[in-house]
Structure 1
Amino acid sequence: MKSHLRRALPVLAAGAMVVAAGISTAGQAAAAPPSSATSALSAAEVKLLNSDAPKTVKLSPTTGAILSVDKGISRVDTRIGKRNLCNSGDACWYTTQTPYAHFGFYGSPGTYTASMPYRGDYHTGNYRASACWTYQGSSPCRGALPPNTYASLGVTVTGTSFRIH
């Protein structure tokens, strides 16, 4: 058993040196990006890149170079999150009956679909949002409303979906 350990130690030590070398190289690269990282960008893209404005950068998957810079944040992920409470900024679909919870929607654009009984008014929070429901045999959907909009249905409905645009 000790002979296995003696043979493994040089291999482990060599692996540790490679890992340590990788850490220092990664730290140096992150601290001082090459000046050519922005050479393919327009002056407007460089200005946007260096600003505090929300932006999306497209990176080369092979080199990590910045290929373009666009205004706003765009995500490939189209999942909407739902929680049983409404945090500040969430889009919120309020319940009309206890013990049912208010539903808070957040995150990236997408549609949450489920039977959500005892829903009433909703608020779009920080999002452009829309809702669908059933009421007395009909199944209407309200198109997207802008952020910070309170939508009053005035009756109890069963929600069928909620969408962040």
Structure 2
Amino acid sequence: MPLGQTLTPRRLDIHALSTVRCIETPDGIYVSCVCGGVTWQLWMERRWPGQHHYAFDHAYDRFIPLRAHETIRFWRVLAGLSDPGPWHRMSRQSLDRHILALRVADARAAGVGERVIAESLLGQPVARSADWSDLSARAQFRRLDSLANRMIAGGYRDLIGYPLSRRV
């Protein structure tokens, strides 16, 4: 065991954390608090019966690595240790690609043509429609359109636990 750590339980007074909001509902208590500069959201099944020990309970599904990471992260912040940061962040390039895909979907829904969308979003002007089939912009547009259609069909949920996916 590292120096300075013991097995004694650590007492956590939720109300001592900054900007705590507790909302009691019939199914439990929702707690929102700021600790270590991060806003944490917790849910407890029952009313606080007094001074007891609590444990984290996680569903055993595909998102367990994400939940475990956030639990350890919360514990580290409460213990005064450095925050390891959020779960794997999406790269700037991937984020920009998803934003472009959503813009393509919006433009398609508004009835704008492929060439006009590609010219405005990708910045590659097409002088003649005969040149459109030979340009890399067309292939890039088609990939963005395909991504947009997958996101509209439910793939947007994969972004919640990125890089974990609901696909096998």
- Shorter-chain TM-score tier: under 0.3
- TM-score normalised to structure 1 length: 0.24
Q: Which has the higher helix share?
A: 2
**Under a length normalisation based on structure 2, what TM-score does the superposition of the two structures give?**
0.24
